[in-house]
Structure 1
Amino acid sequence: MEQGQGAERTAPAGLRTGAGLRHGCMRLLPPFLLMLALAAPAQASDDGPLEVTQRTMHWQGATESGSDAWYRDNWAKGSIVMPYVTSSRKDVAARINDELYMGLIGIPAPSAAGANFELTIPADDSALVGTSSLEFELARDDEHIFSVAVTQEGCGAYCENYTTHYHFDATTGRPFAAAEVITSAGKKDIVKRMDREALGQYRKMLKTLQADLALQLKTGKPSQPGGSVDDTRDRIELNEHCLQEVLERQQDSSRNLDEDFRYLAMAIPDDKGVSFRHERCSNHASRALDDVGDVNLPVPNAQLRGMLTDYGRFLFFGGDRPREALDPFGVFLHGKIGQSPIALRIAVEKGSQQVSAVYYYDKYRRPIALTGTADGDRFTLTTSKTDKDAETFELVRHGSTLAGQWHKGNALQPVSVGP
């Protein structure tokens, strides 16, 4: 397996609390760091940091044959290590855990603490297909924001590491994205600053490479072990191409800066600011020639404050919670179908009437996918089963809650879910 370039650099600095397979070897934490990572007070205060432990997926599935047997064999060796949040605020911890486990594994989070967890659905139905290892790093964890960086090694035609950052409102457990906390003017400013940062890095690298090439041509010796004139020329060509791409973006009169912002990843390494990352210019085939790699743009709090929405200022600096932060979408809501406890999450795409959702019964903890439509505050959701077996939710929004009815065939039950 091949380790992706820059995976460690893209994750925020902090205590690494996961373990992954690298070149067939298990990377282990030093004992004193492992003790720090796993030590946790019995309870967290109402406004204190959430506590995080690590849980390894216990895999006993088939790995004997098939093109994907090699990565499932890694699972059997403990290569999937997830965070697990605990707190005296059980509803907050449950929302964060469900968001992480549903998004990364494809299952509801374990309902109780422990050192391991089971993959409770078929491997081919999980979100782990093509993932050989997964580890995490805790970033910001205070009374305002809980943020964690998850690094995975994904393999298809080739293997590569990539890091995804997950951010949560620490008072509610609600996930949030950069687009929700940065104003339109702030997004445009960040995209333009990222362009300038990229241009500066490519120009600096070109200057270095061109000097190296001149020295090699003069002395007949490579400037780096294993280097060559052809290799340096290839690097120059790649950086010139990357530089030209940025210049063309800047000159594009039809460019939508708000749309371009969506392609930047935001990390929250601590309470001093954020950083944005633009993925490297090179493709996998030319990755070895890309000396710049990902372009990172740090934004300290002094600059960040003026770019934030009302909700963003509340999250990063405290104060009064804005009303729009209390909507029931994009977060797991808990309630009941009849007398059966459930959790339901609805995703609504802005400007669209199409919605998607997932729910599960607390007793069985198996995800059930739903699709449907929105008409104002009214939602109709159904499973993808045949008409005879289809389950349908008809719900109405009331502030931060949803209520209505569930029916399947002749069975009809009331539904109510909320924060």
Structure 2
Amino acid sequence: MADTRSSARSVLSLVVLLSPISLAAPLSVMPLPLDDAEQAEAYRFPLVTGGVEAEAINTWLQVQVLERYPFSTEIAPLERVGLDPHGWGIRRLDYQVTGNTPAYLSLAIDGDFLGAYDTQYQSHFTFDAGTGRPLDLADFFSKDGLSDFQARVQRQWRDEIRALLSAPSELDDEDRQVQREHYENCLDVLKDSRTSWDFFVDDAGLHVRWQCGFGRAYRALDELGTLQADGDAETLRPWLSDFGACALAGDRTSCPRTYGEKGVYFGRIDRHRIVLVLDGEDGGSYAYRNVGTPIPLRLTRRKDEALVLKWEGDTPAGREMFILEPEADGFRGVWMRRTDPAPFDVELMARPQP
């Protein structure tokens, strides 16, 4: 597991511009209740309350971090990430609310993972408080503004790396050469790193983070650690989208919103209630409400404007496929399985349905 888990995923292509939405009071965040006293001491995981948006946020967080759906009847909250019989897994979780306004909710989740070696990491998640949708950097910037901002950040981080390489060092010749090789490789990786940047938002503005990725054996030679770039609303103004400018301006109660396909969707396959999570260009997962076991989906292709999502199943007879056409606030399409004679209609919305 990497030292920093990036929550910055690539945004899918469809973007819908919505008119301004009046927002309620900020959402509330409390620790996820756990029945086991030892688990409750070791694992603090956020549970969001305060509106229909909270269900989408909780679903996203638990699917992405705990690998379960909140309504699961078969998977305990920490079953897939807690310690196995050998003592390997996530040993500790904690969280902080970095920002909570009527415009956005931004969270940091800290983890301690024990595998071949012990690894501490931090992940960030930022949501549109008015819809519960996960936000990417692209939601805060105009198209040209994002490209310009990212280029400036890359230049800043290149300058920091080159300054370190040119500065006097107390390392011996061998360690200095190893450090130089790692940072020179880092400079090459940095060129294509934009989709792996982590970010969070707080009262001071927007903060972008990235690590070069020194191996465990050479981590002591990483003198820069996590690279970070920061900007407040005034500094970033030339590059921000309408939503970004509004969200970073303060405790705003009405902001225009732009968002894409990535998110949580609620609907049905025939009479069966389901929840679908689209988490990027790779696909996502879905679960039936009466069970909650994640079924992985792979985005195999786009057919005109439709998404084609497949589950390969354990046997050829069990393979499934969604073909989904985008609508204003969700999808409409069909679900089919090889063992069924005809497809079933599917309608999915970005907000929970009665």
TM-score exceeds 0.5: yes
Q: Which residue pairs with 1:357 in the alignment? A: 284
Q: Deviations over 1:210-261 (max 9, x none)?
A: 5xxxxxxxxxxxxxxxxxxxxx537982796279628x94xx7xx984x233
* Alignment match of 1:181 (pick from 135, 140, 157): 140
Is the aligned partner of 1:49 residue 2:12? no
Superposition deviation, residue 415 in structure 1: 1.4
Matched, 1:377 2:313: no
Aligned length: 317
Which residue pairs with 2:326 in the alignment? Answer: 397
1:47 match: secondary structure: coil
TM-score (norm 1): 0.64
Counterpart-to-counterpart distance in 2, 1:181 and 1:136:
23
1:364 Cα shift? 1.5
In 2, are the aligned partners of 1:199 and 1:243 still within 8 Å (CA)?
Answer: no
2:54 to 90, 93, 96: 93
For residues 82 and 339 of structure 1, the distance between their equivalents in structure 2, rounded to whole angstroms, comes to: 33
Q: Which residue of 2 aligns with 1:192?
A: 155
Q: Which of 108, 115, 129 matches 1:156?
A: 115
Task: Identify unmatched segments of 5+ residues in structure 2.
Answer: 5-21
| 2:158 counterpart SS class | helix
Q: Structure 1 residues 290, 412: closer, same or farther in 2, change over 3 A?
A: closer
Q: Distance in 1 between matches of 2:154 and 2:78?
A: 40
Cα deviations across residues 75-102 of structure 1 (Å, max 9, x unaligned)? 8574332100001x22x10111111100
- Tell which structure's C-alpha radius of gyration is larger: 1
| Cα distance in 2, alignment partners of residues 378 and 305 from structure 1 | 35
CA shift at 1:56, angstroms? 5.4
Q: Which stretches in structure 1 are left out of the alignment for 5+ residues?
A: 8-44, 61-74, 112-116, 211-231, 350-354
Alpha carbons of structure 1 residues 300 and 388: separation in structure 2 relative to 1, 3 Å = same
Establish whether residue 416 from structure 1 lines up as the match of residue 344 from structure 2: no
1:242-298, CA deviations, whole angstroms, 9 ceiling, x for partnerless residues? 79628x94xx7xx984x2333432232x22212222325643223335444323333
Give the equivalent residue in structure 1 for 2:256.
321
Kept in 2, the 8 Å contact 1:50–1:86? The answer is yes
Task: Give the 3-state SS of the residue equivalent to 1:241 in structure 2.
Answer: helix
Q: Which has the higher strand share?
A: 2
* SS of aligned partner of 2:263: coil
Q: Residues 144 and 315 of structure 1 are in contact (CA less than 8 Å); yes or no, is this contact kept in structure 2? A: yes
Question: Take 2:24 and 2:331, find their aligned partners in 1: how far apart are those partners?
Answer: 27
Structure number with higher helix proportion:
1
Residue 414 of structure 1: how far off its partner (Å): 2.3
Opposite residue 348 of structure 2, the aligned amino acid is V
Compared CA separation, residues 160 and 51, structure 1 to 2 (3 A): same
- Show the counterpart of 1:299: 231
Residues 265, 118 of structure 1: alpha-carbon distance in 2 compared, 3 angstrom cutoff: closer
Which residue of 96, 111, 117 corresponds with 1:137?
Answer: 96
Distance apart, 1:190 and its partner CA? 1.2
1:338–1:413 CA contact under 8 A, matched in 2: yes
Query: Is the Cα contact below 8 Å between 1:235 and 1:289 reproduced in 2?
Result: no
Higher relative contact order (CA 8 A, sep 6+): 2
C-alpha spacing 1:407/1:162, structure 2 compared with 1 (3 Å): same
Q: 1:298 to 1:384 in 2, by over 3 A?
A: same
User: Take 1:271 and 1:389, find their aligned partners in 2: how far apart are those partners?
Assistant: 49
Deviation at 1:141, TM superposition (A): 0.6
Superposed displacement of residue 376, structure 1: 2.3
- C-alpha displacement of 1:361: 1.7
Give the 3 Å change call, closer, same or farther, for CA 56–370 of structure 1 in structure 2.
same
**1:124-177: per-residue Cα shift (whole Å, max 9, x none)?**
99xx97322221111001111111111111233211211111111111111122
> Which residue does the alignment assign to 1:262?
195
Tell me how far apart the structure 2 counterparts of residues 326 and 243 of structure 1 sit (CA, whole Å): 37
Q: What amino acid sits opposite 1:373 in the alignment? A: R
The one-letter code sitting in structure 1 at the alignment partner of 2:318 is D
How much has 1:122 moved relative to structure 2? 9.6
Q: Deviations over 1:43-66 (max 9, x none)?
A: xx9522110011255569xxxxxx
**Conservation of the 8 A alpha-carbon contact between 2:42 and 2:92:** yes
Instruction: Give the Cα separation in 1 of the matches to 2:280 and 2:268.
Output: 21
Residues in 2 aligned to 1:313 and 1:157: alpha-carbon distance in whole angstroms: 44
Q: Which residue of 2 aligns with 1:237?
A: 176
Q: Return closer, same or farther for 1:272/1:170 CA change in 2, 3 Å cut-off.
A: same
Out of 293, 306, 313, the residue aligned to residue 366 of structure 1 is 293
* In 1: Cα distance, 2:44 partner to 2:183 partner: 40
Deviations 1:27-54 (A, max 9, x none): xxxxxxxxxxxxxxxxxx9522110011
For residues 194 and 333 of structure 2, what CA distance do their matches in structure 1 show?
37
Q: Structure 1's 78 and 244: CA in aligned 2 closer, same or farther, altered over 3 A?
A: closer
Q: Where does 1:32-71 land on structure 2 (aligned, <5 Å)?
A: 46-55=23-32
C-alpha separation in 1, matches of 2:26 and 2:140: 21
State the AA in 2 paired with 1:342.
I
1:118 aligns with 2:118: no
